[in-house]
Chain A
Amino acid sequence: MTSAVLIETGALEPGAPAIPDRLDRATVARRAREVRLRELVDQYVDFVARVLRNSGTPESEIDDEVQRTFIVAARRLDDIRPGAEKSFLFRVAFNQAAHARRTAARRREVAADQAPEQVEHLATPEALTDQKRMRELLDRILDDMDETLRAVFVLHEFEEMTAAEIADVVGIPRGTVASRLRRARSEFRARVAALGSGETER
């Protein structure tokens, strides 16, 4: 049955491209890409969301930014080496988040006349189990961190990657990962100590 017959019978609209007579290689290859893209989403959607959030994207924008990240992946699917998917997605997500951070920073400058929130009694069981509050404090600490330090800190402390994996994902030597990590942790501890001064119970 030809396309013309299908059009006559109403199965196809006029102007629709011809139906291939055989399942051709282009169709199979395209389907394979769809499968790969779906697998990327299934495997990494939580990773991408977490990287976005821990890299500075506001909660309200996470869903949109997750979609943006995977749209970039769809557009560049053939540029993503098999095995380098996580690295690719991290870089896209981290960059998206950096943009969101800069936008948020500009908003904060506008609202700079507002008094900063007072942080008190942080070591109480109630405060420590208040996820929302801990999240806000974490955001504040991470937002003050240099972006290069933040990247290795997020991957090591939250994604639990090894130094070698981080070196691969970020594209820096392993020695640089170790030194950035030391600095990032030092900064983190100093800022936490400053937040909850005197509350250093183990």
Chain B
Amino acid sequence: MKEPMRLRDEGATALERALLDAGSAYRGSPSARAKTLGTLGLAGSAGLFAAATARAPLASAGKLSLGKLSLTKFLAGAAICGAVAAVPGYRAWNAHHGSGYAGRAVTSPIPVPPRTEPIVTQLGTGTAVAEAPAPSVAAPAVAAPLPGPVAHRRAAGDATVPLSRELASIDAARTALARGDAAGAIARLNRYARAYPRGRLDMEAEVLRIDALVESGRTDQARARAREFLRRHPNSVLGAHVRTRLGD
């Protein structure tokens, strides 16, 4: 079937071209990306923000009339937990741990208009990058975002590499460590680092490496790496885990 030509390529008038250009040239506001990441709890500094929000139950926001708030402000204040909490693994975890401050925070409804719901009914049902396991192990309190430096670096990562492949590599190392094969885990993490020099799960890889070093008795190296990790990522949710290793 012949590919239809674009109007501007087949003798459009000057006025038609100007109108088409007005459509093509449109750019959203420079702040749209930052606002969206903030709303989703993925902004660089949102680790602290998310934690603070989680500790302040949304009841106070609920007392306000939506009409008195701009949507942006309301979403930034309220959906930051809800949007991220919508990630099924986190939701499952939350159901498992119904008490505690994080549990309270995400019980408020997400302020998204119901009109958005029917859109997705015809879409595919393929799975995302990973299957969430049964929530038998507690996850950290807040679905915290990536901290600044790594977040920026990851944004520049190679998006053409399927995340599932990176995840499989990390999983292989984690599985090796779980069965007591610390050396095997480190070997796999080395392979991961070589295969994905700008890996998007590099923080997770580093935390696993610290675990593996502890397990293999190389505590000095583990402590040095743990301190470096905390220095670089002071607000990371993984930091709590690393601190426990430092405290062992």
The residue in B13, B93, B113, B243 that gathers the most chain A C-beta atoms within 10 A of its C-beta is B13
**Known interface pairs A1-B247, A71-B83, A78-B88. Does A23 touch B4 (Cβ–Cβ under 8 Å)?**
no
Does B167 sit at the interface, judged by CB under 8 A?
A: yes
Does A138 sit at the interface, judged by CB under 8 A?
A: yes
Does B222 sit at the interface, judged by CB under 8 A?
A: no
B112-162 at interface with A (beta carbon < 8 Å)? 112-113, 115-116, 118-120, 122-133, 135, 137-141, 143, 145-146, 151, 154-155, 159, 162
Does A105 sit at the interface, judged by CB under 8 A?
A: no
A11–B243 touching, CB < 8 Å: yes
Q: How far is the CA of A168 from the CA of B110 in the complex (A)?
A: 30
A166-202 at interface with B (beta carbon < 8 Å)? 171, 174-175, 178, 181-182, 185, 188-189, 192, 195-196, 199-202
A156–B140 touching, CB < 8 Å: no
| A interface footprint on B76-120 (CB within 8 Å = 1, 0 otherwise) | 000100011011111001000101111000000010110110111
Does A64 sit at the interface, judged by CB under 8 A?
A: yes
Does B8 sit at the interface, judged by CB under 8 A?
A: yes
B21–A79 touching, CB < 8 Å: no
CB-based nearest A residue for B102: A17
Which A residues fall within an 8 A CB radius of B? Answer: 1, 5-6, 11-13, 15-39, 41-43, 45-46, 48-50, 53-54, 62-64, 66-68, 70-72, 74-82, 84, 87-88, 91-92, 95-96, 99, 122-123, 128-129, 131, 134-135, 137-138, 141-142, 154, 156-158, 160, 162-163, 171, 174-175, 178, 181-182, 185, 188-189, 192, 195-196, 199-202
Which B residues fall within an 8 A CB radius of A? Answer: 1, 3-4, 6-8, 11, 13-16, 18-29, 31-33, 35-37, 39-40, 42, 55, 70-72, 75, 79, 83-84, 86-90, 93, 97, 99-102, 110, 112-113, 115-116, 118-120, 122-133, 135, 137-141, 143, 145-146, 151, 154-155, 159, 162-164, 166-167, 170-171, 174, 177-178, 200-201, 203-204, 207-208, 211, 238, 240-241, 243-244, 247-248
Can you pick out 7 interface pairs between chain A and chain B where the beta carbons lie within 8 Å of each other? A20-B139, A29-B133, A31-B201, A32-B167, A71-B83, A79-B124, A178-B4
